Structure 1
Amino acid sequence: MKSKVIRFLGRFLYIAPMAAFVSAVSPNLSAFANDTPSLWLGLVNEKTQSLEWPGSGFEIIFTGKAVSVTLEDSGKNSLVVENDGKLSKLQLARGKKTYQFVADGGGQQHTLRLIRRTEKMFGPTTLSSIKTEGTLLPGKKRNRQILAIGDSISAGYGIEGSDQSCKFSADTQNQYLTYPAVVARSVGADITTIATSGIRVSPKFPSDVTTMPFVFQQAVPKGRVFDVVIVNLGTNDFSEKTKPDNFVNAYAAFMAVIRDQSPDAMIYAALGPMLTDSQFSEASAAIEAAVKLRHQRGDGKIRFLALRTKAKGFGCNWHPNAETHARLAATLTKTLEHDLNWKRDAAN
């Protein structure tokens, strides 16, 4: 079988990729029972074994020399590959295909993580089977759980684009490089992302079901509890000419829904970094008013967080690129250190 090296994930990671993959399975690989991974990552439809949300994925902990994974996809999605901590990008083929990942070190224990870079609009990526000549081992969730709720910024829209003139595409999107994902890795937390480009908080009409408050209640299973929730919404509400009259109440009501789901979570009502100064002033005032309403109702674990930083460059359509996201991540990491005493590189 002829193999080829998976190409580099991007210049902002500063880490070389590792293994090669081949499109056919070696005949000595045997299927695991139930074909389920060691651990699901992010927001996954476990019944259909489908990855749809950015940052969703799975972890395979195994002994042996190689593992193969069969996935079905539209051909537009791509995955970040963490193979024993070494990073690469896997562009998925259209239809059902098998990808083999080769590990170094013989029969030692290995960890393979496959994480979706792209958002829901590009269709699901469905796991069909996992095979190896070794043994599958169970995984364990980290002690710290972060939920990121947002729009195109949190979804990684255009983050790998060359400059602001490029258009939106699946190829330039990468949730792995977004500021919430960077922060989660730096503090040793698991990250779950629910983000959709163009999404709003306030409905445009009474029966509008395209807002994040509606989508959140449909997408996030009951019982999923988080330690930190980062909400970066409002950009699409306030980037239009008319200010939404119902934003404050809609935002406060959404915070109440999040609080019901995660009673002890620290909630950050964040904003930035794409609005103009005047738009940011309007939007931040509205969000702070919503936060004040929550405080008046006895919720003391919610605060406004301004994510404003001098851009180090732009991705597609003026979205923040990876370097700007890294600056936003530094702001959020310092906030978590101050508020929760979450140290960097914590072992969890």
Structure 2
Amino acid sequence: MNLLSKLTFLPPCNQVNHHYQFDWSASGFQFGFSGKSIELQITSHHTLYGPVILAVFVDDEVYQKIDLSEGSHAYTISFARNDIMHLKIIQITELQYGFFQLEDIQVDGEISKWDKTHESILWIGDSLSAGYGLESDTTPLVFNTHFEDCTHAYPYLVSHALNTTPIIIAYSGNGILSRWIPETEEKVNDEDILPSIFPYDLEENPSWVIINLGTNDASYTRGIHEREQRFQKLYIDFIQTLKTKFPNAKFLLCYGLMEETLLSSVKNVAKETSSLFLRFETATEKDGFCFASHPNKASQLNAANTLIHFIRTHNEETL
């Protein structure tokens, strides 16, 4: 029997040559299980920054993490209990550092279907949405994928709290107009810019589309009016495309948390696209930072609580 048919796949997921491919943060699969062990046959492709990392959840608690080796390998997960468990296995690192394909699953036990929640939220963002650096302090000089875990970033926290499926399209260092550039650079960096690489073939119908972009664009716009106008134009174009794709979703633009240079520009974009807007409190040194001066887990949790309150309030008002 093909046990893959008993899995519920968590988006985004694509079928490639009879295998299931997972690229983005928090994508993976879930199922019910009772038995001794599970063997996963997985092919992983990753960069020099470290392995693709999976988190195995049992009944919503982290059971173990798996560092995937390059190429096709078998991974065994063993259990000491025999009652029915709800298992969720997701990628906690982001696409630009690698992706994986599930080729097969074998079990010593029984698999049962565990459907995902009916409601979903589409999150679009950068390192703040991907959980970049949250597993490290400020001391390391070079990034490693072990520093990243999307389940501690506000998109996953909010979705979990609201019992919705997260669809996280997050790409560290990315933006609308330009990726992050150092102060010594003047030229825009639009390689693999997010509106170009967004997976427009998504089949999901999210109830919310929540976007937090602009932090990296600010490294290029630098308060220059013409650049800020270009940022706004491209952001408006992106949202209008997304609104055509997801006509039934509520749109919310967020900004802050790490810097506020483009705050007024993002507010203008929200107004021009009839989207909602929410400002995050900007993390300070007093709040504490993690790797590369990013907001730490406490700041991410504060942002999550702000969003949870906002979404619940707005949902109640629109009933």
Counterpart Cα distance in 1 of 2:140 and 2:33: 44
- Give the % identical residues: 26
Cα pair 2:258 2:282 within 8 Å, conserved: no
Structure 2 counterpart of 1:239? 219
Give secondary structure in 1 for the equivalent of 2:145.
coil
Shift in alpha-carbon separation, 1:325–1:283, aligned structure 2, 3 A = same
Structure 2 counterpart of 1:335? 310
Query: Mapping of 1:120-269 within 5 angstroms?
Result: 120-163=95-138, 166-202=141-177, 208=190, 210-216=192-198, 219-240=199-220, 241=222, 243=224, 244=227, 245-269=229-253
Select the residue among 64, 74, 78 that pairs with 2:53: 78
Give secondary structure in 1 for the equivalent of 2:299.
helix
Question: Could you tell me how far 1:212 is from its partner in structure 2?
Answer: 1.6
* CA offset digits 1:221-268 (Å, max 9, x no partner): 253210011100001111233642311111111111121122121211
Give secondary structure in 2 for the equivalent of 1:326.
helix
Structure 2 counterpart of 1:95? 71
Counterpart Cα distance in 2 of 1:86 and 1:67: 17
Shift in alpha-carbon separation, 1:212–1:196, aligned structure 2, 3 A = same
Counterpart Cα distance in 1 of 2:189 and 2:263: 26
Counterpart Cα distance in 2 of 1:207 and 1:121: 16
Structure 1 counterpart of 2:4? 35
Counterpart Cα distance in 2 of 1:110 and 1:83: 6
Question: Could you tell me how far 1:80 is from its partner in structure 2?
Answer: 1.3
Structure 1 counterpart of 2:15? 46
Question: Could you tell me how far 1:61 is from its partner in structure 2?
Answer: 2.0
1:303 maps to a residue whose letter is L
Counterpart Cα distance in 1 of 2:4 and 2:164: 26
TM-score of the superposition, structure 2-length normalised?
0.85
Shift in alpha-carbon separation, 1:272–1:169, aligned structure 2, 3 A = farther
Question: Could you tell me how far 1:116 is from its partner in structure 2?
Answer: 0.8
Unmatched segments (≥5 aa) in structure 1? 1-31, 296-301, 343-348
Counterpart Cα distance in 2 of 1:42 and 1:35: 15
Question: Could you tell me how far 1:322 is from its partner in structure 2?
Answer: 1.5
Question: Could you tell me how far 1:203 is from its partner in structure 2?
Answer: 5.7
1:148 maps to a residue whose letter is W
2:158 maps to a residue whose letter is V
Shift in alpha-carbon separation, 1:134–1:153, aligned structure 2, 3 A = same
Shift in alpha-carbon separation, 1:81–1:56, aligned structure 2, 3 A = same
Give secondary structure in 2 for the equivalent of 1:43.
coil
2:195 maps to a residue whose letter is P
Runs of 4+ in 1 over 6 A off after TM superposition: 204-207
Question: Could you tell me how far 1:122 is from its partner in structure 2?
Answer: 2.1
Tell me whether 254-263 or 169-178 shows the greater mean CA deviation.
Answer: 254-263
Structure 2 counterpart of 1:10? none
Give secondary structure in 2 for the equivalent of 1:160.
coil
Structure 2 counterpart of 1:7? none
Tell me whether 94-103 or 51-60 shows the greater mean CA deviation.
Answer: 94-103
CA RMSD of aligned residues (A): 2.4
Counterpart Cα distance in 1 of 2:28 and 2:295: 24
1:233 maps to a residue whose letter is L
Are residues 1:56 and 2:27 paired?
yes
Give secondary structure in 2 for the equivalent of 1:193.
strand
* CA offset digits 1:122-144 (Å, max 9, x no partner): 22211121011333322312122
Give secondary structure in 2 for the equivalent of 1:124.
strand
* CA offset digits 1:133-175 (Å, max 9, x no partner): 3333223121220111001111111111112654322110111
Question: Could you tell me how far 1:307 is from its partner in structure 2?
Answer: 1.3
Are residues 1:306 and 2:279 paired?
yes
Counterpart Cα distance in 1 of 2:311 and 2:253: 14
Counterpart Cα distance in 1 of 2:290 and 2:188: 34
Give secondary structure in 2 for the equivalent of 1:289.
helix
Counterpart Cα distance in 1 of 2:279 and 2:211: 11
Unmatched segments (≥5 aa) in structure 2? 180-186
TM-score of the superposition, structure 1-length normalised?
0.78
